[in-house]
Copies of this chain bind each other. A is one copy, B any other.
Amino acid sequence: MGIEYKTDCPIRAVLKVLGGKWPLLVLSKLEESKRFSAIKREIPEISEKMLIETLKQLTENKLATRKDFKSIPPHVEYKITDKGMKAMEAIPLMRKALSS
């Protein structure tokens, strides 16, 4: 899935994990633990398919955690990790640079 990047290049490494339309935006909503359905409500433009794929990718890369409450109907919550937080800190810097 996604573009084939050489991860020894820092730029490629970043794009591989955070590039694309949704990962950064989804991650930005996870400062507080949230159910799948709640995230979807906060980002109505995203399709369920993309949200699931994005969340899966984020958890695989340890940028978010997935907590399954093992109940029925299902209850699952996602939350950004410290690693994810650190990565997100670069965004305001970039934004600031771009508006300079």
Residues of A within 8 A of B (CB): 3, 9-15, 17-21, 24-25, 28, 61, 83, 86-87, 89-100
Partner of A97, one of B21, B90, B94, B99: B90
Residues of chain B lying within 8 A (CB to CB) of residue A20: 19
Q: How many copies of this chain does the complex contain?
A: 2
Residues of chain B lying within 8 A (CB to CB) of residue A90: 90-91, 93-94, 97
| CB proximity of A89 to chain B, nearest CB, Å | 7
In whole angstroms, what is the CA distance A43 to B30 when docked?
A: 36
In whole angstroms, what is the CA distance A22 to B14 when docked?
A: 13
A24 to B15, Cβ gap below 8 A? Answer: yes
In whole angstroms, what is the CA distance A98 to B89 when docked?
A: 12
Residues of chain B lying within 8 A (CB to CB) of residue A89: 93, 97
